[in-house]
Amino acid sequence: MDLIEDYLERKTKRLSKRSIIEYRRDLSYLEEWFNKRNTELKTVSSKELSKYIELVGVGNKATNRKLSVFRSFYSFLKNEEVIKDNPTEKI
């Protein structure tokens, strides 16, 4: 199961094509970064996610959008019972 594509297919139906492209890109970069660290998206901790967010920067409009996308993605995974704890809840 591709978690990102499942999320995008089910949760972004009312978004513009541009927004969906940006969501996919943000989540793909996140996945790539964690894959390089031998970590699956569904096992990411709050601490690990915070480290990633620090690296991409916080405070500008694009970064705030990324954090919003991550929160939505991990809420989706929790609601679907793919994960037990949402790592974005402590960020």
Q: Are 49 and 26 in contact (CB under 8 A)?
A: no
pLDDT over threshold 60, residue 1: no
Highest mean pLDDT among 7-16, 48-57, 78-87 belongs to 78-87
Q: Percent of the chain, pLDDT > 70?
A: 96
* Number of other residues whose CB lies within 10 A of the CB of residue 33: 16
Q: Scan for tokens 């927004």, then name that residue.
A: 19
pTM: 0.90
How does DSSP assign 7-50, residue by residue? Answer: HHHHH-TTS-HHHHHHHHHHHHHHHHHHHTTT--GGG--HHHHH
The pLDDT value given to residue 58? 61
61 or 18, greater pLDDT = 18
